Amino acid sequence: MRQKFLSLGLIWMVLVPMLAACGGGTTAATTSATSQSATSVISADTTTSTATVVVPTSVTEAASANGQTHAVASDYTWDAATAVQILLNGDSITTSGAGVTVSGRSATITAAGSYVLSGTLSDGQIIVDTKDNATVQLILQSVTLQNSTSSPLYVANAEKVVLIVAEGTQNQIADGSAYVFASADEDEPNAAIFSKANLTIAGTGALTVTGNYQDAIVSKDGLIIAEATLSVTAKDDGIRGKDYLVVKSGNLTVNAGGDGLKSDNADDATLGYISIEQGQIVVTVGGDALTAATDVLIASGDLTLTAGGGSSATLAADQSAKGIKAGAEIVIDGGSFHLDTADDALHSNSSIAVHGGAFSIKSGDDGMHADAALTITNGDVQVLTSYEGLESAQITIDAGTISLITSDDGINVSAGNDSSGMGGGPGMGGRPGGDSFASNSSNLLTINGGTVLVDSLGDGLDANGSISITGGTVIVNG
């Protein structure tokens, strides 16, 4: 293979119009005191002054702008001596103590406090309906709960409910595929676990939740998951917390026909976010693996996300199958990520900030796409399959190792938005709609350090604006 070596000045601004990709060559760019003209693997328009988009420097900084969660330390402890026992006997329920009303196969909890559930209930329901300004704790001790026509566990009214999965126990909750509502105007509850109040799922036991009707776990307020081993299967969405979805720790496995982990409050800019502090998360879905109306914030964790059948799948024009999707910011401080998506692996309508972590990405569209700004300050980003590797109006690389294999541009800096949100370039997953991008004076690619390796069929670096390289190593195979 013919090789070309390009030596770049400490600040290098490419001032040439769009150039075609180079065939059969290798271009290496490293910092030095001299400068040469660009080869055809690098494309940029005329340089103009640019206002840089500021992105959060950490998950902590980004989280400070969001609403606080409902978690307090006392949520996770309970007194067995004072807890009310609720025994599920197949087709009946027995209980001792106050705060519970039993009617046939239905038990309604009417007061705050701790309640221990054990046994099996067929075609029954546990309802929480209390006006007390205190927490209801439900401790699951080897529970099997099933309802064929409604939500088996329904929080109709409460200040907060904490579901504690007892250590060493296996628990199962499942609904049926055909709900019966009181009137034609009603469509809730619609999940195996459905809460109109703040909900926490905690404990070190195992819980399997199956949503045969629509969703598996839903909170119309906030939802927190801590410690538990949680296995979820859903016809539509797996786990949804409207105001926020926080994973503090635990082992989560989600299989869903719709989205995997979801927060969808789009009416309040401080809510509608997903926060992952740590944990093992495996998501396989037909829609988006993680999707938030506002931010997705990941401090750490091991995430394996498969969306829409993976990078080789073809999507319909109205289908979204992204790995991590945010209406506002995606901020990642660390973790391990294995993403195989028919659509963008990471997608933000605003900005993406990667401050660490190891990424293995297979995408039918972009590896990482942000409408406004994409910043990588550290980490190991391996895009193994994609249409375009990195795409945003402003891209900044300060450190780390970035390796991109693409069927079009390796790094594409363009103004606009991903109008289709769909997957696949030529020979890959379907890409039924085009991205809406254009040259813009604010477009800027900045490389201050790190190692960037690009193997592309299109342009290696396509700025549609300006390129500034002050450090690092760039190697392009075109």
Provide the 3-class DSSP secondary structure of residue 209. Answer: strand
Q: Contact 297/277 with Cβ under 8 angstroms?
A: no
- Residue 195's pLDDT is 99
Tens digits of residue pLDDT in 301-339: 999 999 999 999 999 999 999 999 999 999 999 999 999
- Residue 452's pLDDT is 98
- Residue 50's pLDDT is 59
> Would you say the pTM of this structure is higher than 0.95?
no
Low-confidence spans in the chain with pLDDT less than 50: 1-27, 31-40, 46-48, 419-428, 430, 432-434, 436
- Residue 430's pLDDT is 43
* DSSP-assigned letter for residue 63: H
Residue labelled with tokens 């740590």: 278
Domain residue extents for the chain: 1-67+273-280+289-478, 79-269
The alpha carbon of residue 232 and the mean position of all alpha carbons in its chain are separated, in whole angstroms, by 16
Strands 436-438 and 415-417: antiparallel
**What element of type H or E holds 61?**
helix 59-63
Question: Which residues, 6 or more positions from 224, have their beta carbon under 8 angstroms from its beta carbon?
Answer: 69, 70, 71, 198, 199, 200, 201, 202, 241, 246, 248
37, β-bridge pairs: none
Q: How far apart are CA 322 and CA 347, in angstroms?
A: 7
Q: Per residue in 1-28, is it b (16+ CB within 10 Å) or e — as a string?
A: eeebebebeeebbbebeebebbeebbbb
Provide the 3-class DSSP secondary structure of residue 411. Answer: strand
Residue labelled with tokens 């401090």: 299
- Residue 1's pLDDT is 31
* DSSP-assigned letter for residue 68: P
